[in-house]
Amino acid sequence: MKPVFLRCNWLEDPIGIDDVKPRLSWQFETVANRWGQKQTAYRIQAARSATELQEERLLWDTGKVATDRSAHIEYEGPELQSRQIVYWRVRIWDERDQASDWSQTSHFEIGLLNQHDDWHADWINPELETNENERYPASYLRREFKLEGDVAKARLYITACGIYEAWLNGHRIGEEVLTPGATNYAERLQYQTYDVTRLLAKGNNAIGAILGDGWFRGRVGIKGTTNVFGAHLQLRAQLEVEYSTGDSVTIVSDENWHATNEGPIRFNDLQDGEIYDARYELGDWSEPEFDDRTWHFAKKGHWHPQLLVASNSVPIVEKERFSPEVIYTPDGYTVLDFGQNITGYVQFSIEGPAGRQVSLIHGETLDENGNFTLKNLSQQRPENTVLEQKVHYVLKGLGRETYKPRFTVHGFRYVQLRDWPENVNPEHFTAIAVYSDLLPTGEFECSNPLVNQLVRNTQWSQKGNFVDIPTDCPQRERAGWTGDIQAFMHAGSMLMETYPFMSKWLKDVAVQQREDGLIYNVAPRIYPKAQESNPENSAVEGSAGWGDAIVIVPWTLWKIYGDSRILQENWEAMKKWVDYEAECAKETHWVRKSEENPYEQYTWDTGFHWGEWAEPDRRGSMLPLFINLVFSEPEVATAYFAYSCRLLAECAEALGKSDESVYYRELSMKVNQAYLYHFTTDGRIYSKRQANYVRTLALGLLPENERQYAADQLAEMVKDNDYRIGTGFLSTPHICTVLSEYGHNDTAYRLLTQTAPPSWLYAVTKGATTIWEHWESIDRNNVPQDASLNHYSFGAVVGWLFQCVAGIDFLNRSAGDNRFIVAPKPDGQFSYAKASYRSIYGFIRSEWVIEGDRLKFHFEIPANTRAKIVLPCKENEYRTVLGEAGIEKTESENEFICLHVTSGKYTFTSTIGHSSTRNI
């Protein structure tokens, strides 16, 4: 066994992180056909350079540490300094106490830790004057400089209020797009670190940057609000160069930089697109000796974020590329169909006369007549802010010219072309998907191709909505809605490694938290901080099920990735939110003041809540929202209060905070009683809504002896509804799970495989390539409704495919160690299912297939882990085909057989006949 895939804080060889206690992890290359391979000890060595590491002139040497931990091991060497590079390697001892070779050498590099002492660069503003009611072309900035010697090492530290693209000597720096990313710019602004050693040379050099509006002052959120963080774009750049002689020089942004906004990007906005006039192109503007006499000097700017932070998450980059099919729509337009709804932009080439303007309009769908439309995205917006998603390009007319946007991304599958001067050749167009570069971790496949498409659609909705922050949708709002990610967190973390991305976003949720603990619906903010207390904004903030993301998201990450640091990081904010809920519960809504309520203190019946949201039969009516606004939504609010409180108690326990753990557990029990008192009759639910049953079961609110009855009722309701879904955002993630858990696995499968609306597969049969916001975002007559086609929330059912169908279950394990549960729940509605999940220890695989009257299971458990495999059969009903050597213990649990196994491959066969497989 050998350690491979060495990572630091989830990243391979990160450069410019600002964590002085970074965590190291590795996985294993294993020996084939051996069971129980595991690590019994490790030794990490670290040094200042690769050579010093080889020669064992060390900074840090752990010696042989007897442990099976191979993930999240905190660096404990001498205190890390700004700019320090640490080279490290690890060797491990296996179960036979055999030492491995040393791993390959990895490294991590620290950025600038002290925002006051390490930064010498000024903020600079390239614009001559700005009026906040107007929009301006993108600015270009440049500075020439001379290097006196050969360059040994060079780093560029750079950030902006706006979006920047950095250039050196005619080369674009790095592959990241939309930098510095989306945060609450006033509280937390990210900078990036680039290794630019190879782009510099002795003699004359030039550095440059293009600066656009982005999240800082461009449109954000549903209202398309501008200037959320400010009206003045600014850049801050610091280029640190070390010569081979050991001397160094630093080039900083200051008033000696030259600037112009007479460049080709005449307008830029993340939502509305770009206007590019190629006649304004500036040529070799980032090369030395470029004639910039018409440019002006940049002005000194000012920006004082509370924290200037390194980028510790994965960058946004260009990913998949798509070629279009050209279609001619009945209304006479030429439209490109890229076959996949994505977030990104189109690169194209074009030939035509100078000054000719062409347009590309990006949309998600065709309408019922087969014409291109944006109406599904526009209607929700206030009149004066119709969503554009447009690119206008003005030709320079000197032969074939190529272009792709820089400072905008669109949510689209179709592009309508306007005024194209030549025959539309599909080879001249490429759509490029743009999203955060998360490690893909989960794959699922089964015998139902529509379900497989649903999984792909979910993956694409995740990709399109994971652009530095988790958004509701990538076109209409593009906002970090808390409720949406709360619902999707488990599914999303099965499909991709979400930890570094989410850990970053949670910080923006927390810095925005209101003094009294309220968590805003959206983070980063989508209207200026000064407007937070305006009644129309504050009235809808702090919704239950949305604000609870601050507890549910860290808890889910901890369960899946086993790293309690996420709980530490968020502890204060989580606790403050639950305390806020407790304070709200103490108040009583005016309409209920006279009611007798023994649990008055524990019933959260005030404030606005979105409620279950997007239930199929409440669609299209503003009435439920209005009712919530006036009367609140005590059922949902009290349920989430009890639930978050319980999770918080669990987190407290994991962090060793025993007093808090006891306190919140008791509080949660009281709130739970309040819930039962108000919303059940002696523990029985009397409701016509599926969501009420799902919520009480999934959030664990019913007394044990009432759960089965409630689940049976839910199954009946689903059956009576012809196996069509009735839940909204909050309960959809859980409905199949609770059905499977309480003996209605077949009902869960039937619900999932339903194609008549409302259902998951209805959208698939309508040709969807992403998950829709509403169950019928396109209606039965193909009429697009006022709804986005790319909202991941309903894709949360993918969590059930992993957790129950394939059985890879993290949520029910005790986090923090390297043990998993694998408990597949097959049903005859699929003839096979298989999933793989790339855990922090390596791949877990689970497959089952029906072969005649037998079920065959195959599992792979990664090295250095153990699993409890739960088969749906009794002791005398199964046979071990492969893996006897790895089974440590077998026991029967009710009608199941539990096999406690070590790492390795396993195959079992069993007879069919078990209740959970009775359909086969």
* Nearer residue to ligand BGC within complex by CB, 108 or 488: 488
Show Cβ contacts of residue 531 under 8 Å, excluding neighbours closer than 6 positions.
Answer: 537
Show Cβ contacts of residue 839 under 8 Å, excluding neighbours closer than 6 positions.
Answer: 441, 820, 862, 865
Q: Provide the mask over 220-259, with x wherever binding to ligand BGC is found by CB under 6 A and - wherever it is not.
A: --x-------------------------------------
* Nearer residue to ligand BGC within complex by CB, 14 or 611: 611
What is d(CA 422, CA 564) in angstroms, rounded to the nearest whole number? 59
CA atoms within 13 A on the CB side of 840: 32
Show Cβ contacts of residue 437 under 8 Å, excluding neighbours closer than 6 positions.
Answer: 314, 315, 316, 317, 319
The span from the first CA to the last CA of the chain, in angstroms, equals 41
- Residue 612 known to be catalytic: no
Closest contact distance (angstroms) between CB of 657 and ligand BGC is 31
Closest contact distance (angstroms) between CB of 431 and ligand BGC is 23
Sequence-ordered strand ranges (E) for 1-78: 2-8, 15-17, 23-29, 39-47, 60-61, 65-66, 73-74
Helix 658-679, helix 634-654: angle, nearest 10 = 160
Closest contact distance (angstroms) between CB of 772 and ligand BGC is 11
Q: Is 518 helix (H, G, I), strand (E, B) or coil?
A: coil
Q: Provide the mask over 679-708, with x wherever binding to ligand BGC is found by CB under 6 A and - wherever it is not.
A: ------------------------------
Q: Provide the mask over 426-465, with x wherever binding to ligand BGC is found by CB under 6 A and - wherever it is not.
A: ----------------------------------------
What is d(CA 744, CA 624) in angstroms, rounded to the nearest whole number? 31
The amino acid at residue 749 is Y
- The single-letter DSSP state of residue 612 is T
Over 668-714, what HEC string results? HHHHHHHHHHHHCECCECCCCCHHHHHHHHHCCCCCHHHHHHHHHHH
Catalytic pick from 242, 443, 741, 773?
773
* Nearer residue to ligand BGC within complex by CB, 228 or 702: 228
* Nearer residue to ligand BGC within complex by CB, 107 or 525: 525
Q: Provide the mask over 31-70, with x wherever binding to ligand BGC is found by CB under 6 A and - wherever it is not.
A: ----------------------------------------
Closest contact distance (angstroms) between CB of 546 and ligand BGC is 7
* Nearer residue to ligand BGC within complex by CB, 544 or 805: 544
CB 500 within 8 A of CB 10: yes
Binding segment for ligand BGC among 479-487, 567-575, 628-636, 666-674 (CB under 6 A)? 479-487
Tokens of 11: 């990243």
Closest contact distance (angstroms) between CB of 222 and ligand BGC is 6
CB 875 within 8 A of CB 861: no
Binding segment for ligand BGC among 187-195, 293-301, 481-489, 664-672 (CB under 6 A)? 481-489
Nearest to 501 by CA among 512, 514, 488, 515: 488
Nearest to 685 by CA among 723, 676, 729: 676
Catalytic pick from 240, 445, 477, 776?
477
Nearest to 792 by CA among 478, 472, 341: 472
Closest contact distance (angstroms) between CB of 484 and ligand BGC is 5
- What are the residue ranges of helices labelled H in 152-260? 214-217
In the list 295, 414, 481, 772, the residue contacting ligand BGC (rule: CB under 6 A) is 481
The yes or no reply on residue 541 touching ligand BGC (CB under 6 A) is no
* Nearer residue to ligand BGC within complex by CB, 778 or 899: 778
CA dihedral (691, 692, 698, 699) positive or negative: positive
Cβ count within 10 A of residue 543: 25
Looking up tokens 């005619």 gives 170
Strand partners, 191: 310
* Nearer residue to ligand BGC within complex by CB, 305 or 483: 483
Tokens of 709: 């009855």
Total number of residues binding ligand BGC (CB under 6 A)?
10
Q: Which residues, numbered 775-804, are part of the site for ligand BGC (CB under 6 A)?
A: 791
In the list 484, 615, 650, 741, the residue contacting ligand BGC (rule: CB under 6 A) is 484
In the list 157, 185, 613, 640, the residue contacting ligand BGC (rule: CB under 6 A) is 613
Q: Which long-range contacts (CB under 8 A, 24 or more apart) does 146-150 make?
A: 146/203, 146/204, 146/205, 147/200, 147/201, 147/202, 147/203, 147/205, 147/241, 147/243, 147/249, 148/202, 148/243, 148/249, 149/202, 149/243, 149/244, 149/245, 149/247, 150/202, 150/243, 150/244
Q: Give Cα 583 to chain centroid, integer Å.
A: 31
Binding segment for ligand BGC among 240-248, 320-328, 480-488, 902-910 (CB under 6 A)? 480-488
* Nearer residue to ligand BGC within complex by CB, 477 or 581: 477
Closest contact distance (angstroms) between CB of 477 and ligand BGC is 5
What is d(CA 844, CA 919) in angstroms, rounded to the nearest whole number? 27
* Nearer residue to ligand BGC within complex by CB, 455 or 479: 479
Closest contact distance (angstroms) between CB of 185 and ligand BGC is 22
* Nearer residue to ligand BGC within complex by CB, 482 or 836: 482
The yes or no reply on residue 483 touching ligand BGC (CB under 6 A) is yes
Q: Which residues, numbered 459-478, are part of the site for ligand BGC (CB under 6 A)?
A: 472-473, 477
What is d(CA 45, CA 62) in angstroms, rounded to the nearest whole number? 7
Closest contact distance (angstroms) between CB of 483 and ligand BGC is 5
Q: Which residues, numbered 203-222, are part of the site for ligand BGC (CB under 6 A)?
A: 222
Residue at shortest CB range from ligand BGC: 472
Q: Supply angle C-alpha 826, 796, 668, rounded to 5.
A: 100
What is d(CA 421, CA 755) in angstroms, rounded to the nearest whole number? 43
Closest contact distance (angstroms) between CB of 849 and ligand BGC is 38
Tokens of 179: 């930098």
The yes or no reply on residue 664 touching ligand BGC (CB under 6 A) is no
The yes or no reply on residue 610 touching ligand BGC (CB under 6 A) is yes
Pairing of strands 163-168, 171-172: antiparallel
* Nearer residue to ligand BGC within complex by CB, 193 or 475: 475
What is d(CA 110, CA 900) in angstroms, rounded to the nearest whole number? 42
* Nearer residue to ligand BGC within complex by CB, 47 or 487: 487
Closest contact distance (angstroms) between CB of 482 and ligand BGC is 8
The yes or no reply on residue 26 touching ligand BGC (CB under 6 A) is no
Closest contact distance (angstroms) between CB of 487 and ligand BGC is 9
Q: Which residues, numbered 271-300, are part of the site for ligand BGC (CB under 6 A)?
A: none
- Residue 773 known to be catalytic: yes
* Nearer residue to ligand BGC within complex by CB, 315 or 624: 624
What is d(CA 555, CA 280) in angstroms, rounded to the nearest whole number? 52
CB 554 within 8 A of CB 651: yes
Closest contact distance (angstroms) between CB of 557 and ligand BGC is 20
Active-site positions read: 477, 773
Instruction: Summarize as ranges the residues that interact with ligand BGC (CB under 6 A).
Output: 222, 472-473, 477, 481, 483-484, 610, 613, 791
